[in-house]
Amino acid sequence: MPGGQPGPQRATERASALSEPARAYAELADGNRRFVSGAPRHPNQDAEHRAAVADGQHPFAVIVGCSDSRLAAEIIFDRGLGDLFVVRTAGHIVGPEVLGSVEYAVTVLGTPLVVVLGHDSCGAVQAARETAATGTSPGGHLRTVVDAVLPSLRRATAEGVDDIDGIVDIHIAQTVEMLLGQSPVLADAVAQGRCAVVGVSYRLAAGGVRPVTPVPAGAATLDVPAAPDGPAAPAAA
């Protein structure tokens, strides 16, 4: 194979380093810090690594993220080929295809961490908020997206939360609960300690990610210092 495979010892070390949910979470946190600080390493994006992972994948995290074009997982977590198993829908809504994709990664590939990735100013959440306020649903299949977010809107209302980013946090937590509630396979993996599910929120302007739900025990915090992108950085549109 061109480029060769990683040495067996190195591969074993890497697998063992990333096999625990907490280590996987710390790996994401490290990558996000590099991204925020403007010093990404762009790991695992070279031709040698591409060839090395061609025969099989062992991603250390599943990302269930919003489709927003500013939320590219490999970029914001500074990772490369074979690292992240990514499932994206507008507003990170969860349906059968999403559940099946997550279960594939967790049970077949043995991925130890599932991260629900939402973000501030999420358009899907804003659309659901408008629907809740006006009673007018959008047409076409966009309605499916809005309808899937509406339970989070109702929960936010019940909890007295009405700012958009507070609603986003609730929607992220709701998505975590939905994954666990609708996938006994995933819930079993979590109960056995083989996997963890964490909800995080990304800030579009600053680039940092913060946890919205509890992180795996022993994991370094994912809280990222204020982004060095200048005090003039505008709030996300």
| Residues at the interface with Zn ion (CB under 5 A) | 66, 68, 122
Nearer residue to Zn ion within complex by CB, 122 or 153: 122
Shortest spacing between CB 125 and Zn ion, in angstroms: 7
Nearer residue to Zn ion within complex by CB, 24 or 149: 149
Q: What is the 3-state secondary structure (H, E, C) of 60-118?
A: CEEEEEECCCCCCHHHHCCCCCCCEEEEEEHHHCCCHHHHHHHHHHHHHCCCCEEEEEE
DSSP bridge partners of 211: 200
Would you say 202 and 120 are in contact if contact means Cβ atoms under 8 Å apart?
Answer: yes
Shortest spacing between CB 145 and Zn ion, in angstroms: 10
Shortest spacing between CB 66 and Zn ion, in angstroms: 3
DSSP bridge partners of 196: 113
Shortest spacing between CB 104 and Zn ion, in angstroms: 24
Q: How many helices and strands, by DSSP H and E, does the chain display?
A: 9, 5
Nearer residue to Zn ion within complex by CB, 145 or 196: 145
Shortest spacing between CB 190 and Zn ion, in angstroms: 25
What is the Cα–Cα distance from 23 to 17, expressed in whole angstroms? 7
DSSP bridge partners of 88: 65
Nearer residue to Zn ion within complex by CB, 185 or 204: 204
What is the Cα–Cα distance from 120 to 137, expressed in whole angstroms? 22
Nearer residue to Zn ion within complex by CB, 24 or 71: 71
